[in-house]
Amino acid sequence: MTTADELIALVRTYNPNTNQALLREAFAFGAEMHEGQFRHSGEPYFTHPVAVAGILAEQQMDDATIITALLHDTIEDTKASFAEVEKRFGREIAELIDGVTKLTNLQLTSTQTKQAENFRKLFMATSRDLRVTLVKLADRLHNMRTIRSMRPEKQVQKARETMDIFAPLAGRMGMQWMRDELEDLSFKVLNPEGRNSIIRRFITLQRETGDVLHKIMADMRVELEKADIQAEVSGRAKKPYSIWRKMQEKDQGFSRLSDIYGFRVIVATEADCYRVLGAIHQRWRAVPGRFKDYISQPKSNGYRSIHTTVSGRDGKQVEVQIRTREMHEVAETGVAAHWSYKNGERVENRFAVDPVHWISALTERLDDGQDHDEFLEAVKLEMYQDQVFCFTPKGDVIKLPRGATPIDFAYAIHTRIGSACVGAKVDGLRVPLWTRLKNGQSVEVITAEGQTPQATWIDIAVTGRAKTAIRRSLREEDRERFVRLGRELARVAFEQVGKRSTEKALRTAAKALAIDGVEEMLARLGSAEITGRTVVGAIYPELEMQRGDEIDAARAVIGLSPDQEHQRGACCQPVPGERILGIAFRGHGVVVHAIDCEALADYEDQPDRWIDLHWQEGNHKPVNTVTFDATIANDAGVLGRICTLIGEQNANISDLKFIDRKPDYFRLLIDVDLRDAEHLHRVITALEAESNVSSIVRYRDPGLVSVGAGAPRREG
């Protein structure tokens, strides 16, 4: 384990004015608090906080961050309290430790919804002080370096969590070296065979081609000396996971993969960066579409560099990054460069991003009002995606993630422009809205008054901002549609009892049902949360009393013993007038099936459970739900007309679910409450006669059964 003196010596290499006494006191306090605690490997637990502090010292972090690393588990795992830490080390350090503790307790591998909520909390903690996240990332890095001491299932859980959350977060913060290592350590756990195969192929390649790295670096140095450019040239083979990902993305084998080597040229000035670019392109042929200038268009985390890919020695494609020393410091440490030191003094790297500004830029497009799944989707998009830079017709630059479309571009300008988008021109040519934008393209958005977002845009859009705005608009549109549908259903329900659905009647019904306003009541009616009979019954309960001649649903079936209860099978939904039989379930009564129900085949070898049943003759109540599978035209007023037709047959819609939406048609499941088979026939006939209904069939699912009083469940 690193000693206190060794850690202080490391900090003094970049900060000679460090508070050695405070660091030494924190080291001693942490060792005392963790005395008697051990890691899974059997080592003293305090070796872990010391290692985390060492990782952050290598990133040249300030004293407060180093001390936080040494003590980051004390409040959670030892007898130390927030008050005691605050008293000994100050408020700033106590709050940083408390922030790390809260991040540790988020349990990020829980269910999707909880994970999304935890992501929100993570970013809230990050927005208060970015150093909390830096400590947490260093903590995760050391845990991944020592993961082999954990149980196998725990290794997989931690590796997956690291790959999904911490690695992309490190990359988004500009700490690419940490992202690479976290991904590779996770890859080693999640797919050891895949990783080993990459390494074996590397060894074979080196045996066949020799030391390509040093040969190409030597070639570059020669070209730069010819151009009289002072530069530092380095090269490396890319990490196994980076190569594996490229193989998956490009669907290529290792032998066909080209740019598995990366080279870096560090120079003194920005002007030298472009001189180096010219020298390299004069010597080697540039690969089209593989040039990115992040100096003129920096990434939001402060990253600046020129990237180009050229065909090098023996036709091998190699990526070259060109940057200044200041740019390199930011590229290596990312947002952490904000805390960099020189000669014991905090110095401002002009390329380092202010942490407050960075986290604000990261979260500004994450809408507090969106639901958990949408938040998780948006934040992952913000973290994972590389950027492309496109231009408005006026020359303004719009930053977008790789793979973005004109819809994303439109919403990036303004939500109003995105919602009104009907088309786009890229470099003066009309293109489909699903076109993937490329660096440097000029995009013109074509809008039209009255246009609203389409449901298909969700699949086209890439950015969290666009997806959130589209979903919000669709929700509002759905509410308007539900209100219109509810108003039509209310009209039909009132007419069935010889009444009119006036505004006053609707207000009275809403008040009686304790619903906040007529519009809310109609929206619930249209979305099948309540029924038309419920609305009518709220004002005219006496009309329900007049139905005493109807057969009670509990007595609708004949052939049961007095102690047996029944329910209709959800698989076939039999109605009075159809031939039926029952299947007995011990402790759950009898499930009634239509005689031709496919689910009955499951009970062929159990004849003792079969019961001969038939329906009671008479006037049954309209409580027998039947599901229709309908395909209707996607046109104004069609859905309302369908509901009217059903209402005209004195039937009530109890649920309605869209299962497919296309530009020219909708496919939906409609639950209708019916009296009997004759009633069913009348409804189907009325719908089949409607020209806007291309298909109407009775929906049956033999995989659904109803057992007991609960909801239907699927067997097998």
Q: Which residues pair with 632 in a beta bridge?
A: 666, 693
Q: Is 571 in contact with 598 (CB distance < 8 Å)? A: yes
Place of tokens 């991003």: 353
596 is catalytic: no
Amino acid sitting at position 413: I
Report DSSP state, residue 517. Answer: S
The tokens for 379 are: 């934040």
Catalytic residue among 25, 76, 671, 701: 76
At which residue do the structure tokens 């005689």 appear? 595
Whole-angstrom distance, CA of residue 597 vs CA of residue 313: 71
d(CA 609, CA 620): 27
Catalytic one of 25, 43, 77, 550 = 77
Phi, psi of 388 (to 5 degrees): -125, 155
Closest to 137 in 3D by CA, of 67, 64, 52: 52
Task: Name the nearest CA neighbour of 264 among 298, 306, 296.
Answer: 306
- For residues 371-398, b (16+ Cβ closer than 10 Å) or e, as one string? ebebbbbbbbbbbebebbbbbeeeeeeb
Q: Which amino acid is at 577?
A: G
The string of DSSP codes covering 223-252 is: HHHHTT---EEEEEEPPHHHHHHHHHHHT-
Taking the C-alpha atoms of residue 244 and residue 340, their distance in angstroms, rounded to an integer, is 34
Strand, helix or coil for residue 320: strand
- CA–CA distance, 199 with 221 (Å, rounded to integer): 28
49 closest CA partner among 39, 36, 62 = 39
In the chain, the amino acid numbered 589 is G
Determine how many CB atoms are found less than 10 A away from the CB of residue 150: 18
Integer Cα distance of 176 and 330 in angstroms: 10
493, 651 contact by CB (below 8 A): no
Q: Is 184 a catalytic residue?
A: no
Output the 3-class SS for 617-677.
CCCECCCEEEEEEEEEECCCCHHHHHHHHHHHCCCEEEEEEEEEECCCEEEEEEEEEECCH
- Which residues does the annotation mark as catalytic? 76-77
